[in-house]
Amino acid sequence: MADNSTKSEVNRHPRDVEDIADAMHQVHGEKDAAAVHDELVRSKAGGYIPLTSEEKHQSRALNLKFDIFVLPFCVLIYLLNGLDRSNLGNAQIGGFTKDLGIPADTINTATSLFFCTFVPLQPISTAIGKRVGQARWLSIISLGWGIMTLSHAFVKTKGQVIAVRLLIGVFEAGFYPTCVSYLATFYPRFDLAYRIALFYGSYAVAGAFGGLIAWGVFHINGSLYSWQYLFIIEGAITLLIAVITPFWLVAEPKKAWFLKEHERAYAERRMVMDASANLDSTYKMTKRDLVEGALDWKLWCVLPWNVLASIAPQGFTIFFPIVVKGLGYSGAKANLMTVPPYVVGTVVLLVVAASSDHFHERTIHILSGITVVIIGLILVIVLPLENTHARYGGLVILLAGTFVAAPITVAWLAGNTPEPGKRTLVLGINGWGNLGGIIGSELYKPKYGPDYHFPLKVTVGLIGVAWLGYAAYHFELRFANNLKARKIAQMTHEEIEEESRSDKRYADRKYTFVYSL
């Protein structure tokens, strides 16, 4: 392969700090005040966007290697995470609470307490992962929740069920934000949403796959209850993958065992250019990251709407098998009937995320997904319970849009938070969107079955508020870009270059950083 030094300036190896500074200089330093002002006014986010055919080929080739060696393994772990999260609903169809002789609403109580543990620990667990190494931390916590999943097979009382779910919440807390932050160190911002969608889609696939596994396991005639086999099988698989994880996942792009030396250098340079951040764009978390992340206005302005939009994927889907059973399907068949809606939801998510990356746009894509959820909810509410097939069709439409908002919101925040340390904390706090699971667990109680009209009506109202909130967030970011544009209009070329390089304003607070919409 030809030496990259003969190629375009963008693809030169970053041999030292000055060379990396060159990369950042290319992002803002060569633009005059009018050009940067124009970008801000039009809210045309920068980031690393390859321009030449050679650059595009090199970037695609690098992404392909990450798509082969990094992303699938993360997807696999999240698939298992989703199985371990949703299997309680599947177990209930197999007679979990009945066989144990405990109240049916134990699942609701255990789920609420799971999220009460899970949610506040997310930023803490994510920060720990940043310090000990994200790949290593993913292995540790997946080992923990694998053991807890297997332990479900041996519980005897309501207290033991709740205790096991609480411990699963402790171990699972940091997984999603840690893994998303980890992926964000490999892909530029406008290659990220589709990858996060593939990653997050495994949660939707877990719903379908979990239904298939439960359907098969519930046909086992052995000495144990069918739900015991379910927990043992899923827990054992998680433990196996957890042991392999630290040997497969790499710490960061420049240490990737599957890349050649010049590819590692380009991978590092590409992410520096994408961030257009300070020279110290390392993979640590500083005190300034903690302060800036905790006070990040754009996080707190979107978090409430993320919580409400997450009622569907985090809360409703846990009880989806029970809702389907309420339509009149038998135990094993109820699990099987959960499969098609999840498949449709996954396909729609991937299509919408690919479109979001292609058009460099987030708001409309999120709102379109939420709109589909609202339509599906309304159909399930207004259609009579006796019309089983039509109501089931409404559930399919509901899940078609259910999984769209959360991963694109994560990609949106990740792309608008260029510093890796600050981004880790922001994504950890954004994980509080799982509070939607607490709302869902309190809504979808057995007493509201079999039609679940009341919880469905409350859900449609809350998700409608989320729709309005996301629309308002779009204009808040646009307003911030306009304020930056006014500042840029008063600056010289030299002042713009200094703004891009200096530490006076951090990461996305720089006047030269454009928020994507």
What per-residue confidence (pLDDT) applies to 276?
A: 53
Q: Kindly indicate the confidence band of residue 468, based on its pLDDT and cuts at 50, 70 and 90.
A: very high
Q: What is the mean pLDDT of residues 106-134?
A: 84
Q: What is the mean pLDDT of residues 129-139?
A: 89
The pTM score is: 0.74
Q: What is the mean pLDDT of residues 57-85?
A: 89
What per-residue confidence (pLDDT) applies to 20?
A: 39
Contact 270, 23 (CB under 8 A): no
Contact 170, 255 (CB under 8 A): no
Asked if residue 35 is part of any domain, the answer here is no
d(CA 213, CA 230): 8
In the chain, the percentage of residues whose pLDDT exceeds 90 is 26
**Best-predicted range by mean pLDDT (28-42, 124-138, 426-440):** 124-138
Per residue in 214-265, pLDDT tens?
Answer: 778 888 888 899 889 999 999 999 999 999 999 999 988 888 899 999 898 8
Contact 287, 130 (CB under 8 A): no
Query: Across the chain, what does the average pLDDT equal?
Result: 81
Contact 198, 186 (CB under 8 A): no
Per residue in 9-52, pLDDT tens?
Answer: 333 333 333 443 444 444 444 455 566 556 565 555 556 777 78
Q: Residue 311: give its domain's CATH number.
A: 1.20.1250.20
* pLDDT above 60 (res 433): yes
Which of these, 435, 324, 331, 412, lies nearest to 365 by C-alpha position?
412
What per-residue confidence (pLDDT) applies to 277?
A: 44
Asked if residue 222 is part of any domain, the answer here is yes
Which of these, 326, 333, 413, lies nearest to 366 by C-alpha position?
413
Q: What is the mean pLDDT of residues 506-512?
A: 83
Lowest mean pLDDT among 143-147, 152-156, 185-189: 185-189
Enter the tokens of residue 201. Answer: 């889609």
What is the domain range of residue 266?
57-274+284-481
Per residue in 288-347, pLDDT tens?
Answer: 888 888 899 999 999 999 999 988 776 666 666 667 766 666 656 666 777 788 888 889
Asked if residue 248 is part of any domain, the answer here is yes
Contact 409, 107 (CB under 8 A): no
What per-residue confidence (pLDDT) applies to 2?
A: 39
Enter the tokens of residue 138. Answer: 């993913």
What per-residue confidence (pLDDT) applies to 330?
A: 62
Asked if residue 139 is part of any domain, the answer here is yes
Per residue in 357-411, pLDDT tens?
Answer: 888 899 999 999 999 999 988 988 888 877 878 888 888 898 899 889 988 998 8
Enter the tokens of residue 483. Answer: 């304020």
Asked if residue 71 is part of any domain, the answer here is yes
Enter the tokens of residue 323. Answer: 């809702």
Q: Kindly indicate the confidence band of residue 94, based on its pLDDT and cuts at 50, 70 and 90.
A: confident
When divided into structural domains, the chain yields a total of 1
3-state secondary structure of 143: helix
Asked if residue 161 is part of any domain, the answer here is yes
CB burial readout 363-379, b (16+ within 10 A) else e: bbbbbbbbebbbbbbbb
3-state secondary structure of 50: coil
State the virtual CA torsion across 37, 39, 40, 41 in degrees, nearest 10: 80
DSSP E strands: which ranges in 192-252?
Answer: none
Q: Looking at residue 510, what DSSP letter applies? A: S
The residue count of the chain comes to 517
What per-residue confidence (pLDDT) applies to 280?
A: 42
φ/ψ of 404, rounded to 5, equals -80, -50
φ/ψ of 69, rounded to 5, equals -100, -25
The CA-based diameter of the chain, rounded to the nearest angstrom, is 78
* pLDDT above 80 (res 441): no
Which of these, 89, 503, 84, lies nearest to 320 by C-alpha position?
89
Q: What is the mean pLDDT of residues 62-77?
A: 92
Contact 40, 238 (CB under 8 A): no
Asked if residue 29 is part of any domain, the answer here is no
Asked if residue 17 is part of any domain, the answer here is no
| DSSP string of 39-61, one letter each residue | HHHTT---S----SHHHHHHHHH
In the chain, the percentage of residues whose pLDDT exceeds 70 is 84
* pLDDT above 70 (res 270): yes
Enter the tokens of residue 18. Answer: 């000055």
What per-residue confidence (pLDDT) applies to 278?
A: 38
